[in-house]
Structure formats: structure tokens, C-alpha cells
Structure 1
Amino acid sequence: MSLSPDRLYDLLPAIYRARDEEEGFPLRDFLRVLAAQANVVEEDIERLYDNWFIETCDDWVVPYLADLLGYSPLPEAAILDGTEPALGRALSPRSDVAHTIDARRRKGTLSLLEDLSRDAARWPGRAVEFRTRLGCTQHLDHQHANRGATIDVRRPGPLQLLRFAHGAFDPWAHRVDVRRLGSRRRHGRFNIPDVGIFAFRLRTYPVTTTPAYCVEESGPQCYTFSVLGHDTLLFQLPVAEPSPTHIAHESNLPVPLRRYRFALRGDAADYSRVSPELYGDGKSVEVFAPDWPTKGQGMPVPIDALIAANLEDWKYQVPRNHVALDPHTGRLQFPANQRPKRGVWVSYQYGFAGDIGGGEYARPLVSLQGATVYVVHTATPLLPLADPLPENHFASIKDALTAWATAKAATPSAHALVIELAESGLYDGGLDIQLDAGEAIQIRAAERTRPVLRLLDVHASRPDALSVGGGAGSRFILDGLLVMGRGVEVHGPQDDDPNAAAGDLCELVIRHCTLVPGWSLHCDCDPKRPGEPSVTLDGTTASLRVENSILGPVSVVSPARRTEPVDISFCNSILDATGPARVALGAPDEAVAHASVAFRRCTVIGQVQVHALTLAEDSIFASTVRVLRRQVGCVRFCFVPSGSRTPQRFHCQPDLAAAAAEPAAKVATLLRVLPAFGSLRYGSPHYMRLMDACCQEIATGASDAASMGAWHDLFEPQRQSNLAARLGESVPAGTDAGIIFAS
């Protein structure tokens, strides 16, 4: 609700307002104060009505409505004070409270367990009664033809389901396993009372109409779905279940696309066709090749021209007028004598743990106050550029910057510019941006897009990074982009620069971005330029703020005349030097970077060498940390390797575990309390996720009992505990229910 600050003043008779104007508006200023407080009271009264309903109430009201229904939250929810809304949503999920009465009516049904997984933990799930998978003799009067049979080694498709999604769709019969499903030591699975909920924690994210990457070293007919050139596992776009009582199938869950499911096989076919359930507009995969195989075709490539194949070695012989597609590696291969001349574009789904690093997910758009907005487009097969473009619309970022320079010359009061990249396409070229004093420029992705800024190696005599500089009070912001090819360099004023008196750039902000670690990737996700910095602060006093982003190393080059340390802060981010022996944050010409750094909920791969560490909390440092000034700052609830030099540490690992261990067991404890990641390579679905086998000191070692590191805000331990509590309330007596993580 937006109320005028002068609404009380406007109620006064005109004679009083005229006299007030003669006196310099003292009465108006007084009534504005009263109106501001009246607005607060009225807004609170309106919220009281909204707080009657679970769908519209504030987050702090949810536990109170839950108490009215007899909903029993976790004990941790009782001590929340409203300062951590994300944790509160994990401990008292709104949807779970809303469906409490419905869940009680359906207690004991199999479909309810899937709904509990979605409501209580926000994980899609598949419920399985393991007694139906036991190999046993059936009664002739009560036959179950859909029960599992012995393994048929001649059918590779069903065999693949044994390991796929940890057996959530396993079709085979098994022998009895007497271990309990909920055992704390070794979990059983196949027994009469066992009921399991397979939880799928990975999320699927779309990539819409983006260029495919031509792998020229393997052949001009070879392409990858990822514009970075690495192999990427394609995922299923989940289809909504038809009814509340429906048990989830493979098509209803965020799972990888298996080759044998992606293929549509027939007895009379001499090659594998693609399933129409997975390919096409609004489906999991779509390919565009303009004017292929003949002019006017290929928009999109028809499903009859696609072949599901194994392209791991690029040796598949593709028939003419066909395209081979491998969903397991995310590769495309055209006939060698029938290559696409106008490029290839793709739409697909990939898997990732959460909303970090940019993508086609909802993120808050932070706009500059009073900014001019320019929109930049890139040509795609579905949306060719208009001729001419509308006003304030441009074909490249350079054109937008040129127009902004002209606009500033005509309007000296212009001080803020937002360049919005409108499509999830590829934007080429290097940029050299120099900001005036007090100027702010933001380059951001449009809502629900993932634009890729590719910095090309054009100049042989100098670096081709995105170069940024500015005067006093200037700011530069990157928001929602994927930057590949090079990094970002911030240059400070040189002593011989005639504009040095104008000051230096004030701040560089990176939000929801990925500056690819190693600049580019090989097919196996190994970096092409390991250890190269993603951000270089060269002789500048500008501060660096990184939020919800993925970066390679940060390099700090101090100015010739030493000033106060540069302020650098990381929040909910990953700082990846592509190897624990490399330097993630340091200086190329000094022992430590002249910087004052703060880490909040971050994962750092590589050594940290800084002047001061003002704060580090809920973070994982995979390599040693070396801080010059130890009298300032605090490190709390972090993993810091032995041998690190830091400020005072509080409740950190492995210090805490080693102090509690017996002297003879200290070495074993130090070897046990280590972070275990699913993958250390960017491009993998499990990038920087802690493995399920990771020690509890790290998996639940944050200040709020969540996991340390960049994925702290997923609150997976709290979700798991909440789901386990709800399962115990909803299964029949004598049933052993448990959670099995399928991803």
C-alpha cells in the first residue's frame, strides 16, 4: 500500500495551508511525521486480516497457526526470534502446515508420503513399499504380474535402473534384507515393514535457445549443449502428476535423461528414434539448426531426424539427414558431409543444487535509483533482431555504452545506467568501461534469462579482460551473468594519469553471476586455464562485494602508494581456484594481499593469503588460510585446515573435534573431520555439494546447525529432520519408514 505523505495536510482548509506556506511549511512537516506513523498503523491493521490465513500470513505467524492445528514443529523452531526467516521457513514449512488436516485424513496411504516430502522438505519424492520388491512365491489366486522378476541380462534398459536414482525405479526382485531401513549404522532396504521415500534434492534449471558449442578439435560436425564446451548431463523437465493419489514416475521427477529412456526403439527400426515425450516445444530438449538439412528447415530440427546415440568417443556414423544426440553427455553430432552452416541453438534442462551463479530462476532485481535503462538483444533463431530497433534498444553492449556517452554529454545530470541483456544468448566482445565520478553502471540479465558474456582473445599485445575503472563515488555492478573466456580487471588511477585527481572506483558488485573458474572448460569439466584470476584488483582502492556467485581466484595488486586495505566481502558464494594447492585470494607480487576480507556462508577451494580477516562464519576453507593481522576479526563455525594462521577461532573444525578426542585418536579425528564434496569441477550437477557421507561436524556444523559452506541456505539437515518427523506420524504402526537420497 502506497499512501501520500501529505494526506493529512491535504485535509486542512486552504487558508491554513496558505498561511503555512508563508511561514516555510512548518505545519506540513509536522503533519508528515504524524502521517508516516498513521500509515504504519493502517498497514499493520491490514496485515492483521491477511495473517488469519496460512496462504497470506507473515512468516512469523506460521508457527502460531501450526500450534492451533496441533502441528508439532521441530524443537529448534521454538527458539526462533524472526531474525532468520529462511531458517524459519525450513523448520515450519508453510505448505506442510496448510496441508496438515488433509494429511491426517490420508494417514497411512503411500501417496501421502510423497506429498510430505514435497511439503515438509520441498524435495520431490517417490514412495516405495519394499515388500512389493521381494522375490517370493505368489499365491495362484492372487497373482501380481507387476511384481519384480529375476534380472534379464539381455535388457540393458531395465538393468540401468539398478543404479539409476539409487534404485528408486528398480524393477527387479530382491532377497530379504533384515537390517532396518532407519538404522544409524548400515541401512537395510528390502524387508516386509520397510517403506522408503526417495528424495530428489537436485533441481532442474532451463536454458532457453542458447548457442551450442562447436567442438572443433573433434570435428566441425561435433557440438555440445553447453556453451562452455563441456559435457553436461541433460535432465528431465518434470511433468505434473495427474492426481493427488498418483505415485510419481520417472517423468514426474527432476532426474537425468537416460539413453534408453530417451530412445524410442522399435523392432523394425535400424536406429533409435527419440521419444516424443522428451523432445519438442515445452519439453526437456529441443534443437534448432536454421536451414538444415535444406533451406527453410531445422526450426526446430524434426524429431524424425534425431537419433539417440552414445557419443562419448565422437565415432558414431551419423546417417545423412539425421542428427545424433546423447543426453548422458549433452553432445550433438551431424553428418560430416552435411554440417549446419548457420549454427546450432539448443534448449535443455540441467541439474544443480540451488540458486547460485545465475540462471533462469527468479532473483530479486536491484535497480539503480533514477537510472536510464537500455536493452541489449542478441539474435536467436526464434527472435531475429528487428530492423530498426526500438528506442533505447541495441544490438550490442558496446552500442549501448556509446549511446550512453552521447546521452551524458547532452544531459550532464545523467548519472546511472542499467544495461539489461534481454535473451539467454551469447554476447561477444571485450569491454573497457571508464566511469565518471559519482556514476553507476549495472549490466544485468533480464528476469528469467541466463545471458553469457564471452570475452574473446582479440589483442595479442595486451589482456582482453573486462576492464573497469572510475572516478570517486562510482560503482559498477554485474548481475545475473555468466562470464567466460577472461576475467574482470579493475584498474586504479596511475601516478602519471592526468585524471588521477578524480579519484578511484568506489565499488564493484557481483550478484548471482558465474565467472567461470579457469575461464573455459574442457569436455571433462577440467579448466582450460587453471588458476587464472576471475577478478583482478590492480592498484585500486575499490571494494569488492560478491553475493550468490561462483568465481575463480581473486588477485589483488597493491597501488604504488599504499593506502588502507581493500575491502572484499563474499556471501553465499563459491571461490574456486580449481585446485587446493593454488591461491584463491592473494597477491601475485606479495606474500599476502593487501585486503580486509569477510566470508559468510562460502566455500573456498585454494589458499587464502590476506592482510586481515574481519569475519568468517559458516564457511569451508579447503586449503590453508594465512592472515597477517590476527588482532582484528573472528572466525566462527568454520572449517579451517590445520596449520592455518587466523584471528581468534570459535567453534571451528577440526579444532573442536580434535580437542574432544583422546590423545591417541587425534590423528584419526583430523583425517575424519574433512569436507567431502560430490564434485570439485564447475559444470557438474553436484558441484561443491557436501556428500552424504561427510562427517556431521561439517554437515551440521554451522551456527544454526545447517551445513557449512555455500549451500548453507538450503538447510538440508533441518529439512531432513522435519521430513523424518512427519513420516513417523503418518505411516502405519509397525512400519519402518526412512529417507533415501536419490540425488
Structure 2
Amino acid sequence: MSAYSTALRDKLFSLLPAYLQELDGPDRRNPGDPPGPLQALLSIIEGQADALDADILQLYNDAFVETCEPWVIPYIGDLVGTTPLFDESRVRGGDSAGELFGNLNGPSFRPQIGLGNRADVAKTIYYRRRKGTVPMLEEMARDVTGWPAHAVEFFQRLQWTQRIKNHIRPQAIQCPDLRSLARLDRLDGAFDETCRTIDVRPIGEIEGWYGIRKIGFFLWRLIAQKFEAVDACRQGAAGDFRWRFSPLGQDAPLFSARRREDEETGLSQRRHVPQALSRPDFHEDMRRALLQPVIPDFSEYYGLFDPFAGMVLAEDRAMMIFINGAPVPISRIRCRNLEAWGQPAGNQVAIDVMTGRIALGPIAAAAAAAGGVRVWFHHGFPGNLGGGAYRRRPWLIKPPAGALILHVDGSGDPGTFSTIAAALAQWVATGRPDCIVRVHDNRTYSDAIAIEPADGRFIAIEAADGSRPHLRLPGPLAITGDHDTATVTLGGLLIEGRVTINGSLGRLRLIHTTLVPGQSIAAPDPVLPPGPPPPVQASVTAAATRADGSPANTELRLEAAFSIMGRLRLPEHSELIALLDCAVDGLGGIAIAGVPANSSGPSCRIERSTIRGAVQVREIDLATDSIFDGRITVLRQQIGCLRFSYVMPGSTTPRRYRCQPDLAFKRASEIAGPMTPAESAVLRQETEMRVRPEYTSEAFGQPAWLQLHRKVATEIATGSEDGADMGVWCHLKQPQRLANLKLRLDEYLPFGLEAGFIRVT
């Protein structure tokens, strides 16, 4: 509604007297009739009046930080005397995604990192009113980094002889309580309650904590991804009592959910931060629940995620188990160490939170054989990658006019399909039009999938926003037929298998999708004798020739964004491999190559990705902010460039710009001055040994997979173009988060205190 009129249309014309309106259009009988000359003139003026009115309204809104335009935020910040932080507006990226994926919802593909100057400026006065207090410093650390945080005044954990008359500190325990497994499990952590002698070393991540002037900020970088109604993975044959929370069947710790603090003026507790659960904590949680006069429906870590008849819903629980469609109450849950697999008694259900294993009693195992086991749980991961229960609406396909949309879930509702294969059969029966097969749940689908697209059409199998279905393929997902102008898209899927292009295809797109490296990471059955390891299959393989011997897939483009995959095998004459924010794990072999594996693959464009394994390609058009943890061999070295990346020594590449370890060796040589060839060789070897990627975990399926280690060389940890870490987690901007915290502590940290940052995960 405009300030000058309440009319919905013809606002200026409606302000005229009625007789003038009649004189302007005496022949107009209906609202849809052509306007008169005066009405047409006023409609043109009205457009400019509306623009002026909106501008005046925005000028009013710009007076408030909550409603102002982004460009106004620094000016308001200057009024209150705050320094702008690194936030999402400075994040680069998204342009390449917009070019490659033109038919997605968008409009912006810039990664969201949870940092914003608007909230920081708005809370400046709020911070200053509580300036110097520990709860305020902890809250500020959480706000400016986007990570859960816990602040500790280390002088509170110092041992000293207490004065009996006053200032008694009963919480300052010099000797740990050896009877409490939970307290012992917290030693040397953020919530350790035991006291130490003074440490005179400067405060760091692993040493120098305990001192009078020292305050530590514990930061949890891993997020707890929530998975709901997931089919648990059974170990062994039907009726076996051994299960795992992970649908992929690997051992992985369960995480607690991140929660809001009970009160803003207090400090965070262990239950507020996302971290791997420990057996002592879970055992204590179950013990407290079972000791209640009336056993509750939920505990600190166990409880319903969604409403269920007859049970009380609890928010932000860590896990829940359903057997044969019925929830397992707390009275039947037991905390156990299941590393050696032991079956509980009767109808009990044992959980090992450190391995993610489930053991069912004989009665529960019989019920599971009839109806399966469905689980709700949290899994730790560095960021939103490869699909999951996170927001990815901009990455969903925008259906064009006339496109067929088929829905898949287990609800049994009319108009839905229970399997992906049934939906694809309907697509074929309809004549293979443009089609989106949208999956709305997190179940495990064991369909055999074969796709033959139509020329000039697209077919997409994508998960709905917030879902991550699991495809356990009995064979490869086969794309057949010679269709050089067709497009196949896989979005938001967890695929335990591989994709083979047996004919010719135009485009294969992987968007927030995981093709499990090596096809499977399921733990072997300890009961069976170990056999020879199966051969490692490529995640994507494209045929090099057609049946008549002519080249196949000459127009093929493999385009992937925020995806995880194993080895890639595309013929050299294919058009392009484009990887944006991806991880390619060669599992000790060649990561990217042609068909056969000893030949070169096609041209590549790689941005903010981690490639583990050798790369053999025709050319690299562009590689930036990436880690090549394997030797690169490029045939056409006169084309393209590599920039702000780690390139393994001995690689043959196009020209490089500010790549490591070359840049580190150049700077070390300038500092060392003139050297003999032998001294230069020694310096180069030392630099190459120091400046190389190191990861917290190299095993896919573990929480900190491909996260750069805390002790990795600074040249890699801050080596990307904008100062972020190289590789697939570049979009998280972790160095910038720490820089934000350091900048704010310069203003808010009390004089004389020394701050340390401890990255817990």
C-alpha cells in the first residue's frame, strides 16, 4: 500500500473526482476496457511515484540495522564504533555454479557460512553493557565464529592451599574422582573439573592452559547432521541381532545435537555442544532415567524426534530407535561396549555410542526380522557436503513448463511411488519427457536402476529439501543409449554403488550427492573368515567407443558441485569434468583418468576441491583453491593455469600462480640468500616435507573426513585466494572465523588477560 493512496491499482487516477474519471472514459463499462488518455498518462507517472515512495520507505528502514540495506550496515557500525567483520557478503564463489547449473532454483549459489555483520552490529551495545564478563565473551565467540563455544577462566582450575575462614572453593578438586567414569572421561577437555598446577608456557591449543591470566575459548567446528527415519544396516543374514546406525554399515560415533543454552547469562554445558557421545556420559544418562520413580519417555540423549501417539516429544535428542514400526522405550535401552558384539537378554536393546552399533536381544531381534530397524541419530561432519538434512533449496531443479514430476516415498499416499524403479517405469510409459523424480524420505532403496534418456531432454533423480535417501544398488546405475544432447542429474542422494555410461550422454550432473568411494565402506563380518579385498571400482565410468567402433561420449560433460565421489574414468575426447567444492578419493590409486585407467582423461575445471590420488588429464583449464594430493600429469601444458592450490611435487602442469609448496620454497630461498645447488636441494626437500596436506581423518564415513589437521602448514591452512584453507572445506572460511574472534577480543577482552583458541573438533 502506498503512502498517497489505498487503492490497489490506478492509485493516482482514483484520487481524481468521479466526474473527471467519467469524462476521461465515457465509453468504459468494465475494468478491463482500455484506459482513457488521462488514465494512461497518470499510470506512467504512477510508476515513478511508486518508485519514489518505495525509496522514501527504504530510507526510513535504513535508519534501523534490522531492516536496512546491506550497504548501510558498515555506516551504522561506524556510528557505534565497531569494525566490520568477515561475513557472507565477502564470500566468493557461486558464479561458476550459476554458469553450469542454469536451471536450478537459485538465485544465489554462494555458500552460507552463518556469519553476518548485521547481527554483530545490532548486538554491539548489548555486548558493551556486559563487557568483560565470561558469559558475554563466550556468547560473542559463538556469534562471530558461527561455532559452538565454551569459555574457561583457567585460574579457576588452579590448585592452591585454601583458606578455611573464607573463600572456600569446594569445586577446586586437586585429585580426580577415580570412581566417576564421566569425570575421568572429561579430563583435558573443555568441561574438565579437576585442577592443575600453574603452566608458565604461552597458552596454545594443547599446552600452556593453566595460569592466572589465561582464558580459553573451546570451539567445536564439526556440525551434528540430523538424520531421521533412516533404515539401520544389519550385519549378517536376516534375523541377526547386530545392527548399525549408519546405513552404510561402518563404525562411526554418534553425536549429540546442538542445543540452545538454557539462559543467556550462563555458560554453555556439555549438553549444548555437538560432539561425539562417550560411553560414560550415555551410561550415566540411562542410569538417571532408569532410577526415576516413573521412567520418562526421554532422557538427555535419547528420545523422540517427531510426535508419536502416547509418548512425550523432546526436542534436540541425540538418537531414537524404532523396531517393526514401534518406538523402543528407555526402559529397554542399555549402554554397552559392543566392540566384541555381545547380545543382550530378552527384549533389551544395547547401544554403543562410540561405534554406532546396536545389539538386539532375542525377542527384539525377532521383531526386527519382521519389520526392520529404523533409527534417528546425529552424525558429525565438517560441513554441508554430499547431501543431508540441510537446506539446499537453491540447488533443487526449477521444473520447466510441462515437466513431469514424480514423487517417491514410503507413505503409500495416492500419486506417490514406493520405489524409484516404479517412478522411472512411469516416466518411460509417459514417453520420456523432461522429468524430476523427487524422493521425500531417508529410506534405503535397493532398486536396480537403468536410465535411457531422450534426446534433448533431461531426467533427474533428486532428494527433496532436507532429505537424503540411500540407494544401495545391486549393480551399477546404468545410463544407456546414444543421446549426446540428453542430461541426467542426481541430486541430494547417498549412492552405495557406481554410475556407468554405456552409450553416449550429453551431461551428467552430481549436485550435493555422494557416490561412496570404492562403492562400499561396510565393516566386514568378524564371524566370517576374511577374504581378499574386492577390486576398487570407479564411481563414474563412461564408455570410450560405441558398438560400431566410433568415439562415444564426445559431448559428455561431468558437472559436480558439493559432491563426494571415488575414482572418475572418462575418455580423453569427452568435453569437460567440472568440480566445484567436491572431494574425489582415489583410495590410493589414480583419482581422475581416462578409459582405460592408464590413459588421460578430458579437460578439467576444478574449484575449491580436494583430489586424493593421481590426476591424468588432457588439460586443466582452471584449478583454484584446491588440493591435489597426488601427482598431476597434463598433456597440454600450454593451456590453462593452476592458482592458490597445493600441487604435489613432480607434477607436470600448466603455469602456476601462488601454488604450494613452490611459493613456500621461493620465500624460504629469499630469506636464506645465496645457496649452493646442494643446499637448495636440501631446503626444497625440507619445505616439501613441511608444506603438505595433513588431515584429521582420511577414512570416508568418519566425522572429520578430509578436515585439515590443526597442525597443518599455515601455507595450506590459509593458502586460498581469500585466505581460507585450501580444498573442499574452503567454503567454510575457518581462518576468517578465527580472525573475527581475535578482532573482537581486542576490544572486549579485559586488560591483562591472555586468550587461547582450542579447536576441540
TM-score range, shorter chain: 0.7 to 0.9
Corresponding residue to 2:159 among 135, 139, 157: 135
Which amino acid in 1 is paired with 2:234? C
**Once the two structures are superposed, what CA deviation does each residue of 1:559-593 show, in whole Å capped at 9, x if it has no partner?**
xxxxx5421100011011122xx111102426433
Q: Distance in 2 between matches of 1:450 and 1:267?
A: 34
Q: CA deviation at 1:366?
A: 2.9
**Once the two structures are superposed, what CA deviation does each residue of 1:707-731 show, in whole Å capped at 9, x if it has no partner?**
1101011111111011012123212
Which amino acid in 2 is paired with 1:682? F
Corresponding residue to 1:537 among 518, 522, 542: 542
Change over 3 Å in CA distance of 1:355–1:638 after alignment to 2: same
- State whether residues 509 and 546 of structure 1, in contact with CA within 8 Å, keep that contact through their aligned partners in structure 2: yes
Which amino acid in 1 is paired with 2:231? P
Indicate whether 1:655 and 2:675 are aligned.
Answer: no
Match in the other structure for 1:696: 714
Match in the other structure for 2:477: 465
Match in the other structure for 2:357: 331
SS in 1 for 2:619: strand
Match in the other structure for 2:397: 366
Q: Distance in 1 between matches of 2:275 and 2:458?
A: 42
Match in the other structure for 2:517: 517
Indicate whether 1:118 and 2:129 are aligned.
Answer: no
Corresponding residue to 2:76 among 65, 70, 73: 65
Indicate whether 1:676 and 2:694 are aligned.
Answer: yes
Q: Distance in 1 between matches of 2:89 and 2:363?
A: 68
Match in the other structure for 1:152: 177
Which amino acid in 1 is paired with 2:510? I
The 10-residue stretch of structure 1 (242-251 or 592-601) with the greater mean CA deviation from structure 2: 592-601
- State whether residues 453 and 481 of structure 2, in contact with CA within 8 Å, keep that contact through their aligned partners in structure 1: yes
SS in 1 for 2:646: coil
SS in 2 for 1:705: coil
Match in the other structure for 2:565: 551
Unaligned runs of 5+ in 1: 2-6, 18-30, 291-297, 380-384, 410-414, 458-463, 494-504, 559-563
Indicate whether 1:178 and 2:189 are aligned.
Answer: no
Q: CA deviation at 1:640?
A: 0.2
Q: Distance in 1 between matches of 2:484 and 2:359?
A: 52
- State whether residues 696 and 707 of structure 2, in contact with CA within 8 Å, keep that contact through their aligned partners in structure 1: yes
Q: CA deviation at 1:60?
A: 4.0
Which amino acid in 1 is paired with 2:493? L
Match in the other structure for 1:571: 580
Change over 3 Å in CA distance of 1:41–1:641 after alignment to 2: farther
Q: CA deviation at 1:114?
A: 1.5
Indicate whether 1:169 and 2:191 are aligned.
Answer: yes
| RMSD over aligned Cα atoms | 3.7
Which amino acid in 2 is paired with 1:693? K
- State whether residues 522 and 528 of structure 1, in contact with CA within 8 Å, keep that contact through their aligned partners in structure 2: no
Indicate whether 1:279 and 2:324 are aligned.
Answer: no
Q: Distance in 2 between matches of 1:45 and 1:430?
A: 60
Change over 3 Å in CA distance of 1:357–1:110 after alignment to 2: same
Aligned length: 676
Unaligned runs of 5+ in 2: 2-8, 14-20, 29-41, 95-107, 306-316, 544-551, 673-679
Q: CA deviation at 1:374?
A: 3.5
**Once the two structures are superposed, what CA deviation does each residue of 1:664-715 show, in whole Å capped at 9, x if it has no partner?**
4222111100111111111111101101100010000111111110101111
Match in the other structure for 1:449: 467
- State whether residues 84 and 117 of structure 2, in contact with CA within 8 Å, keep that contact through their aligned partners in structure 1: no
Q: CA deviation at 1:336?
A: 4.8
Q: CA deviation at 1:279?
A: 0.8
Indicate whether 1:238 and 2:227 are aligned.
Answer: no
Q: Distance in 2 between matches of 1:78 and 1:465?
A: 37
**Once the two structures are superposed, what CA deviation does each residue of 1:316-349 show, in whole Å capped at 9, x if it has no partner?**
2412111110111000011257512221110001
Which amino acid in 2 is paired with 1:454? R
Q: Distance in 2 between matches of 1:195 and 1:211?
A: 44
Which amino acid in 2 is paired with 1:359? G
Q: CA deviation at 1:182?
A: 5.9
Q: Distance in 2 between matches of 1:78 and 1:533?
A: 36
The 10-residue stretch of structure 1 (304-313 or 656-665) with the greater mean CA deviation from structure 2: 656-665
**Once the two structures are superposed, what CA deviation does each residue of 1:54-113 show, in whole Å capped at 9, x if it has no partner?**
334444443333222211236x89996999996998886332222111001100111011
Change over 3 Å in CA distance of 1:266–1:232 after alignment to 2: closer
- State whether residues 518 and 528 of structure 1, in contact with CA within 8 Å, keep that contact through their aligned partners in structure 2: no
Which amino acid in 2 is paired with 1:311? L
Which amino acid in 2 is paired with 1:482? L
Match in the other structure for 2:599: 592
* Structure 2 counterparts to residues 413-492 of structure 1, below 5 A: 415-457=433-475, 464-469=476-481, 471-484=483-496, 486-492=497-503
Q: CA deviation at 1:121?
A: 0.7
Match in the other structure for 1:403: 426
Q: Distance in 2 between matches of 1:87 and 1:704?
A: 14
Q: CA deviation at 1:151?
A: 2.0
Which amino acid in 1 is paired with 2:337? N
The 10-residue stretch of structure 1 (370-379 or 690-699) with the greater mean CA deviation from structure 2: 370-379
Q: Distance in 1 between matches of 2:289 and 2:445?
A: 45
* Structure 2 counterparts to residues 334-345 of structure 1, below 5 A: 334-336=360-362, 339=365, 340-341=368-369, 342-345=371-374
SS in 1 for 2:125: helix
Q: CA deviation at 1:658?
A: 1.4
Q: Distance in 2 between matches of 1:40 and 1:367?
A: 30
* Structure 2 counterparts to residues 90-109 of structure 1, below 5 A: 93-109=117-133
Q: Distance in 1 between matches of 2:461 and 2:88?
A: 43
Indicate whether 1:211 and 2:222 are aligned.
Answer: no
Q: CA deviation at 1:219?
A: 8.3
Change over 3 Å in CA distance of 1:452–1:466 after alignment to 2: farther
Change over 3 Å in CA distance of 1:90–1:335 after alignment to 2: closer
SS in 1 for 2:618: strand
Q: CA deviation at 1:51?
A: 4.3
Q: Distance in 1 between matches of 2:283 and 2:516?
A: 33
Q: CA deviation at 1:632?
A: 0.8
What TM-score, normalized to structure 2? Answer: 0.81
- State whether residues 455 and 486 of structure 2, in contact with CA within 8 Å, keep that contact through their aligned partners in structure 1: yes
Instruction: Work out the percentage of aligned pairs sharing the same amino acid.
Output: 35
Q: CA deviation at 1:359?
A: 0.1
Match in the other structure for 2:736: 718
**Once the two structures are superposed, what CA deviation does each residue of 1:606-659 show, in whole Å capped at 9, x if it has no partner?**
111000100000000000011000111010011001110110001000111112
Q: Distance in 2 between matches of 1:377 and 1:208?
A: 16
- State whether residues 255 and 275 of structure 2, in contact with CA within 8 Å, keep that contact through their aligned partners in structure 1: yes
- State whether residues 571 and 602 of structure 2, in contact with CA within 8 Å, keep that contact through their aligned partners in structure 1: no
**Once the two structures are superposed, what CA deviation does each residue of 1:247-278 show, in whole Å capped at 9, x if it has no partner?**
100111112111111113659999xx998111
Q: Distance in 2 between matches of 1:46 and 1:259?
A: 58
Which amino acid in 1 is paired with 2:727? G
- State whether residues 578 and 681 of structure 1, in contact with CA within 8 Å, keep that contact through their aligned partners in structure 2: no
Change over 3 Å in CA distance of 1:396–1:470 after alignment to 2: farther
- State whether residues 420 and 444 of structure 1, in contact with CA within 8 Å, keep that contact through their aligned partners in structure 2: yes
Which amino acid in 1 is paired with 2:399? L
SS in 1 for 2:592: strand
Which amino acid in 1 is paired with 2:345? P
**Once the two structures are superposed, what CA deviation does each residue of 1:260-304 show, in whole Å capped at 9, x if it has no partner?**
11113659999xx998111111321100111xxxxxxx7101111
Q: Distance in 2 between matches of 1:39 and 1:400?
A: 48
Corresponding residue to 2:247 among 204, 227, 237: 227
Indicate whether 1:303 and 2:326 are aligned.
Answer: no
SS in 1 for 2:430: helix
Q: Distance in 2 between matches of 1:739 and 1:697?
A: 19
Q: CA deviation at 1:313?
A: 1.5
Q: Distance in 1 between matches of 2:153 and 2:425?
A: 65
Q: CA deviation at 1:49?
A: 5.1
